[in-house]
Amino acid sequence: MRRVFGGVEGGGTKFKLLIGTDPHDIVAQAQIPTTTPDETLERVIAFFRRPDIELAAVGCASFGPIDLDTRSPTYGCITTTPKPGWAYTNVVRTLGSELGVPVAWETDTAGAALGEYTWGAGRHIEVLVYVTVGTGIGGAVLINGRPVHGLLHAEMGHVLVPVADGDTFAGICPYHGQCLEGMASGPALRARTGRPGETIAPDDPIWDLEAAYLGAGLHQIGYVLSPQKIIVGGGVPQTPHLLEKIRRQVTSLNHGYLAHPALSGGIRDYIVPPGLGADAGVIGALELARQSLQSHADQVRP
Ligand code: ZN
């Protein structure tokens, strides 16, 4: 029987599931809609209960905010989500007790960052940032392949950005109004224009404004964390030419202050699209599962 890992990427609208050991060795994959916690997790469990595999561990990269503090009574929970029924759902406990294997737990962006670090555009990058721009804006930082946790986890999408001259949009973040997510996420674009981003022409001037905000966000993230690479994933940056506009904005905001090639001629190697595309999160969850076994082995080794 094959010894494999399970990967789960839990999203607000769908869960992506994977069984395998790496992107080139996938035994099975599926997508299920996110409905109620009970129904969704039941389908996740059913997917992993297969007679032809020996499941060693499961990695779960989830939408959040999530509790990552192993000493906390709510570790393994999605915490204050407005998504009906999901607040304080303990995903780790449910999957662990039903499947009888260790369950590793991370944010969806950290899962994607880990996938990119292991197999994608961020290989061998000591200080790596992954930012996703879609339904929300999130970010994760990995130091030598380990996601950084502190008080909670990074919330790069909620940094404040300077409001562009003449922009009267109030922003859609219920907590901060005009934070990066409030001004530049997919729903913010839709609220500004009345149209989903994928239907807006690539030469529409709205993309210059979008790039101004995303560029300001990446400028701050770059200055604070000094990453060697920033991977920009999610649906919005797939708009033709948008990533190039963001790069120009970051170079321009630097004003030549940091004299590193990454911020001038080398910017195409500094701000990059994901190597694993939209599957970085669920693929990274396989690596999360593998790492959880490794850290367990380290703990029990005398
Ligand atoms: Zn916010």
Of all helices (H) and strands (E), which one includes residue 291?
helix 280-300
Do the strands 25-33 and 14-22 form a parallel or antiparallel pair, or are they unpaired? antiparallel
- Is 288 within a domain? no
CA-CA distance, 289 to 278, in Å (whole number)?
A: 19
- Cβ contact 55:99 at 8 Å: yes
Residue 295, number of CB atoms within 10 A of its CB: 10
pLDDT tier at 296 (50, 70, 90 boundaries)? low
Instruction: Identify whether residues 221 and 256 lie together within a single domain.
Output: yes
Q: What is the pLDDT of residue 300?
A: 58
Residues near 38 by Cβ (< 8 Å), separated by ≥ 6? none
170-200 per-position pLDDT tens digit: 999 999 999 999 999 999 999 999 999 989 9
Q: How far is the CA of 81 from the centre of ligand 1 (A)?
A: 14
Mean pLDDT, rounded, for 212-233: 98
Quote the crossing angle between the two packed helices 37-48 and 91-99, to the nearest 10°. Answer: 40
Q: How far is the CA of 156 from the centre of ligand 1 (A)?
A: 9
The CATH number for 252's domain is 3.30.420.40
Q: How many domains does the chain have?
A: 2
Instruction: Identify whether residues 143 and 92 lie together within a single domain.
Output: no
Amino acid at 129: V
Q: Domain end: 107, 142, 173, which one?
A: 107
Instruction: Identify whether residues 49 and 74 lie together within a single domain.
Output: yes
CA 223 to chain centre: 20
- Is 245 within a domain? yes
Q: How far is the CA of 229 from the centre of ligand 1 (A)?
A: 24
Q: How far is the CA of 137 from the centre of ligand 1 (A)?
A: 9
Instruction: Identify whether residues 133 and 265 lie together within a single domain.
Output: yes
Written as six digits, the tokens of 236 are 């919005």
Q: How far is the CA of 214 from the centre of ligand 1 (A)?
A: 14
- Is 98 within a domain? yes
Lowest-pLDDT range, 42-56, 79-93, 258-272? Answer: 79-93
- Is 171 within a domain? yes
Written as six digits, the tokens of 249 are 């904005």
Instruction: Identify whether residues 211 and 259 lie together within a single domain.
Output: yes
Q: Domain end: 81, 107, 133, which one?
A: 107
Q: What is the pLDDT of residue 218?
A: 98
Lowest-pLDDT range, 149-158, 170-179, 252-261? Answer: 149-158
Of all helices (H) and strands (E), which one includes residue 120?
none
Instruction: Identify whether residues 127 and 234 lie together within a single domain.
Output: yes
CA-CA distance, 162 to 231, in Å (whole number)?
A: 22
Instruction: Identify whether residues 151 and 182 lie together within a single domain.
Output: yes
Instruction: Identify whether residues 238 and 96 lie together within a single domain.
Output: no
Q: Domain end: 107, 137, 158, which one?
A: 107
Q: How far is the CA of 119 from the centre of ligand 1 (A)?
A: 31
Q: Is the pLDDT of residue 299 over 80?
A: no
Sheet with strand 103-107: strands edge to edge: 25-33, 14-22, 2-10, 53-62, 103-107
Q: How far is the CA of 105 from the centre of ligand 1 (A)?
A: 24
pLDDT tier at 293 (50, 70, 90 boundaries)? confident
Handedness of CA 118, 122, 126, 131 (dihedral sign): negative
Domain carrying residue 52:
2-107
Instruction: Identify whether residues 127 and 214 lie together within a single domain.
Output: yes
Instruction: Identify whether residues 10 and 99 lie together within a single domain.
Output: yes
- Is 163 within a domain? yes
Instruction: Identify whether residues 90 and 30 lie together within a single domain.
Output: yes
If DSSP codes are grouped into helix, strand and coil, which group holds residue 298?
helix
Q: How far is the CA of 33 from the centre of ligand 1 (A)?
A: 26
- Is 67 within a domain? yes
Instruction: Identify whether residues 242 and 132 lie together within a single domain.
Output: yes
- Is 278 within a domain? no
